[in-house]
Amino acid sequence: MKHVTEFRDPALAKNLLAEIAALADRIGATRAEPVRIMEICGGHTHAIFRFGLDKLVHEGIEFIHGPGCPVCVLPMARVDECIEIAERPGVIFTTFGDAMRVPGTRGSLMQAKARGCDIRMVYSPLDALEIARRNPGHEVVFFGLGFETTTPSTAFAIQAAAREGLGNFTVFCNHITVPEPLRALLGDPHMQLDGFVGPGHVSMVIGTHPYDFIAEDFGKPITVAGFEPLDLLQAVAMVLRQIAEGRAEVENQYARVVPEHGNPASIAAMADVYERRPSFEWRGLGEIDASGLRIRPAYAAYDAEEKFGVGYAAGPRHVPEPEGCACGSVMTGRMKPTACPQYGTGCTPETPLGALMVSSEGACAAYWQYGGARVAAE
């Protein structure tokens, strides 16, 4: 398959691994004192494990898994609020599939569906819009969830609903942004990070400049990367080369997809439809200033929080994490999934305690899915 196999070429991978090893030796990275590189995006975490890159690279490279899985960082209270909306008479609640099994205090959306709620899986907010058109007697709510990758498509759906004057379509907006939690992590003196692999899909929308502060304010290198093995290996080599040369810059390995200034149409749609919330709660990270988006008053008719009086419209609500759950520590890179006391015992894909075990971008799911016997043995 053209455009896939060429990014999985074994000979090129060997060259990159040799380059990484030479750079790691030059820096003095060892297993005991590794270079700690955070891959921000959960998609990268899965790619690293899927292709075994964590074992192929020099032993002095440690991958730290970052908070870039939007389903994982969603606090339990928001899942509860989804169910609260879905339980209202006449509501059709629509969601992406990977949010279906995320546990709240009253179970997941999947369990609410089993109890009789009309909850439907969709592939796009435009699918939800179509359901609204076909069901004028129902209130159709779309669970808007995700980073800047999915935020524009929700905005386009809201703009389309407004153009059509659709009165039975709203969005429960949980869109969040990547730069703010990174600033929070970098401001934590206990976090020891040497560099970053930046998210590919988010950057395709926002460009590379929103990460300038990582290099300028915190002196750390970051390389935006694609999702194939050669992409990730090249990105790691680029981060290491910066460290070896004493540089801290924003570099773009994924230039075939990520434009420096992002996607203007998406950026304009986001600016039109959303405004920043003063703060938003992240699972494991707490409230982070200006890290969440809400629907602007001009589009209030399409805001489920306003229509149903839930979420921040009903006042802040915090639900504590389940006893023994280490999701927060895993999500901020302080702990590896296998170190969580619940991993594989109290928490499995069949009986998840945290979203990280069931999300397609969750670190615990990556370890479970691809680590197999190796991770269990470790």
Q: How far is the CB of 288 from ligand SF4 (least distance, A)?
A: 19
**Residue 327 interacts with ligand SF4 (CB under 6 A)?**
yes
* Residue among 214, 230, 285, 356 that touches ligand SF4 (CB under 6 A): 356
DSSP string, 53-74: HHHHS-TTEEEEEEEE-TTTTS
Work out whether 24 is an interface residue with ligand SF4 (CB under 6 A): no
Question: Binding to ligand SF4 by residue 342, rule CB under 6 A?
Answer: yes
Q: Does 200 bind ligand SF4 (CB under 6 A)?
A: no
- Closest approach, Cβ 331 to ligand SF4, in A, equals 8
* Alpha carbon distance 31, 22 (integer Å): 15
Q: By the 8 A CB rule, do 182 and 68 touch?
A: no
- If phi > 0 it is left, if psi is from -120 to 50 it is alpha, else beta; for residue 127 that is alpha
Determine the residue with CB nearest ligand SF4: 354
Indicate whether 242 belongs to the interface with ligand SF4 (CB under 6 A): no
Closer to ligand SF4 by Cβ: residue 186 or 340: 340
Check residue 322 and report its DSSP letter.
P
Residue 337 binding ligand SF4, by CB under 6 A: yes
Instruction: Write the burial class of residue 249 (CB in 10 Å: 0-12 exposed, 13-18 middle, 19+ buried).
Output: middle
222 contributes a contact to ligand SF4 by CB under 6 A:
no
For 48, 184, 215, the CA distances from 189, given in Å and listed in that order, are: 27, 10, 17
Residue in 299, 354, 370, 375 binding ligand SF4, rule: CB under 6 A: 354
Residue with tokens 């070896």: 244
**CA-based nearest residue to 24, from 239, 295, 218, 319:** 239
Q: What phi and psi values does residue 255 have, to the nearest 5 degrees?
A: -65, -20
Q: Is 347 in the site for ligand SF4 (CB under 6 A)?
A: yes
Burial of 335 (0-12, 13-18, 19+ CB in 10 A): middle
Paired residues of 347 in beta bridges = 343
**Among 364, 370, 371, 375, interactor with ligand SF4 by CB under 6 A:** 364
**295 binds ligand SF4, rule: CB under 6 A:** no
Q: 49 to 78, contacts with ligand SF4 by CB under 6 A?
A: none
**Closest separation between CB of residue 112 and ligand SF4, Å?**
20
Give the number of other CB atoms < 10 A from CB of residue 372. 11
Q: Among 357, 366, 370, 375, indicate the residue that binds ligand SF4 (CB under 6 A).
A: 357
Q: Tell whether residue 330 is a contact of ligand SF4 (CB under 6 A).
A: yes
Of 61-69, 77-85, 224-232, 353-361, which segment contacts ligand SF4 by CB under 6 A?
A: 353-361
Binding part of the chain for ligand SF4, among 137-145, 200-208, 303-311, 339-347 by CB under 6 A, reads: 339-347
| Least separation in angstroms between CB 61 and ligand SF4 | 23
Is the dihedral angle over the CA atoms 246, 14, 236, 334 positive or is it negative?
negative
Nearer to ligand SF4, 117 or 145 (CB): 145
Residues 6+ apart with CB under 8 A from 41: 66, 68, 69, 197, 198, 199, 200, 201, 202, 361
Direct distance between the N- and C-terminal alpha carbons of the chain, in angstroms, rounded to an integer: 35
Q: Nearest approach, Cβ of 350 to ligand SF4 (angstroms)?
A: 12
Q: Which is nearer to ligand SF4, 90 or 349 (CB)?
A: 349
Binding positions for ligand SF4, rule: CB under 6 A: 325-327, 330, 337, 340, 342-343, 347, 353-354, 356-357, 364
